[in-house]
Amino acid sequence: MSEDTTKAPEAEQLVRPSVPALDKVLGVKFDVLDDGFVRLVDYMGSDAAIVQAARVSYGKGTKKTSQDRGLIRYLLRHRHTTPFEMCEIKLHVRVPMDCWRQWIRHRTANVNEYSTRYSIAIDAAQQTEPSQWRRQAPGNKQGSKGFIDPGDGELLSKREREIQDASREVYQERLDAGVSREQARKDLPLATYTEAYWKIDLHNLLHFLSLRMDDHAQMEIREYAKLIGYEIVSQWCPIVWEAFLDYNMEKLVLSRLEIDIVGAIGRGDKQRAIEMATGFGWLKRGEKGLLRHRERNEFEQKLKQLNLPIPWKE
């Protein structure tokens, strides 16, 4: 008699993996800025899924939690990235369009955005409190430093409200006149909120967070990134989150040039450290002393962090 090929092979009984701490915040709207939010819609995987995927590559099963932690930390430290792609997360976000313009540059997510061709634009625009107008940073063209006097900020905030109200009014007039939504929207401010569903795997989410939680990122997107990191990823994959802070966000990278100078400082050879920095072109002088040099400035920050002396400043 021939074998019955219609019978399914005995399946291993699996339970859908979940993370109770994250389940508790499913659907919760975390407020960001004055009218934005991040809402967890769905997720797949956990710390355990990363371990499971990594172990399959060398054919070993589950181990003790302490070994799992060690493995995850090893994978992250050594940039073994694919196991982290086993985890996915779907967020519903509400973000001002200028911030979204930075966000959407991250190409590895799956995105569906609210359509202002199809629907009336969301009637909300991000507003700035009088005390929150940031000054242009003197040394960093892309950054801000300190705040405008709140007294002066009163007028800036008042003018902001006026321009937002006026542009909304004009938008409404165009719609009332029968202008298409796709054209009527063109003068709405960048502060107008948009919404999107945003799905990304953990590897690429960590990349997003490392760029957007960083001090160099604009404050507004930093607020979103920090919320996603500290409120969501930390609950979802706590071991990964800890390793990410240790090996990514709070790491210190030294270039070959910097290692050479740190070596000389360690040997107590200040003169050699200065010679090397001079050779790298870091210590050029002008009339007012040392000329600005971005790489040298960054290295000086690292020396401060390491509590080491700056040889050319003593």
Residue of 168, 185, 212, 296 marked active site: 212
Nearer to ligand FAD, 92 or 106 (CB): 106
Cα separation, 219 vs 57, whole angstroms: 40
Helix and strand numbers (H, E) in the chain are 13, 9
DSSP-assigned letter for residue 313: G
Q: What letter would DSSP give residue 285?
A: E
Does the footprint of ligand FAD cover residue 107 (CB under 6 A)?
yes
CA distance to 88, 261, 280, per residue, from 256 (Å):
36, 9, 11
Query: Which residues inside 213-272 make contact with ligand FAD, applying CB under 6 A?
Result: 216-217
User: Residue 145: which of 214, 224, 215, 250 has the closest Cα?
Assistant: 215
**Is 55 assigned a catalytic role?**
no
Question: Of 211 and 303, which CB lies nearer to ligand FAD in the complex structure?
Answer: 211
Q: Which of residues 42-101 bind ligand FAD (CB under 6 A)?
A: none
108 lies in the site for ligand FAD, by CB under 6 A: yes
Q: Which stretch binds ligand FAD (CB under 6 A): 33-41, 178-186, 210-218, 223-231?
A: 210-218
Is 265:273 a contact under the CB 8 Å cutoff?
A: yes
Which span sits near ligand FAD by CB under 6 A: 61-69, 105-113, 122-130, 132-140? Answer: 105-113
Shortest Å, Cβ 208 to ligand FAD: 6
**Distance, CA of 149 to CA of 133 (rounded, Å):** 8
Q: Which is nearer to ligand FAD, 39 or 203 (CB)?
A: 203
Least distance between ligand FAD and beta carbon 45 (Å): 19
Alpha carbon separation from 305 to 250, 251, 300, 301 (Å, rounded): 11, 11, 9, 6
Q: How far is the CB of 197 from ligand FAD (least distance, A)?
A: 17
Catalytic residue numbers, as ranges: 212
